[in-house]
Structure 1
């Protein structure tokens, strides 16, 4: 008798977990939109992590106070941008995947860690310029065609800050030559 009661309870529990017949399943375009947003969050998050990690090296090792200030600003700004992206994604119902550095980002970080004091500052700026160019292109692209309106708005708001970082990195690199 207990066995029949357990089977009935399990069936009732499963019935409660299943979607009602009138529920709509996500359409393929909704699934694609979620993947598009998740890919954006993944790559933006990885870019932010790269900016923060490389900038921490400069804050600790560079002898150039202007560059250390720039790196500290990047740490602050990219940490804030990541936090804003996560909060925006959560508010829009998009699960942000945990970001991970690409193989190229890991290699660049490794080169920065082992750079000589004489080449450290220049190498950092040589890494920051293309990293910010890539980030800016991605952010601008998502702000125009991204699938999630709240994330598009967040990307549009972040673009001027990334553009300013890029301009400052380019100017500092030109001065370092």
Structure 2
């Protein structure tokens, strides 16, 4: 059973227990095996789920592509104004934020200790707090823009009401 059919199976099974379902080459659902015959209300709910399935499946396919695109974006990282390539995954954001907080703490203690940032290729860069602040502002703005664009794509896909509308996204 494909990943998408598993999703459909779960939706129908939430209404009435089923053994399985199948689809033809075109993706049309042609057989649902119920554990016990559904009530009229359950059948109506299942019929509505099946009727909505082409759009829901198309959304799942589009969202899978957005997931793949996001992974590619994360793997590509971000290039700083100085030309360094920095990671933008959550762990990278956390490490950079931690380094920034430590730099602020050391300065508050009267210490002038440079912070070492290692870029994706492994080169180390020593920065003072002012330099690190500028880097963090640019980094944060870039990461927020990437996240915002990804979220906008996901919202548009989820808001689509027809397969044709999805085609334009």
TM-score category by the smaller chain?
0.3 to 0.5
TM-score normalized by structure 1?
0.37
TM-score normalized by structure 2?
0.39
Q: Structure 1 or 2: larger helix share?
A: 1
Higher-RCO chain (CA-CA 8 Å, sequence separation at least 6): 1
Structure number with greater Rg is 2
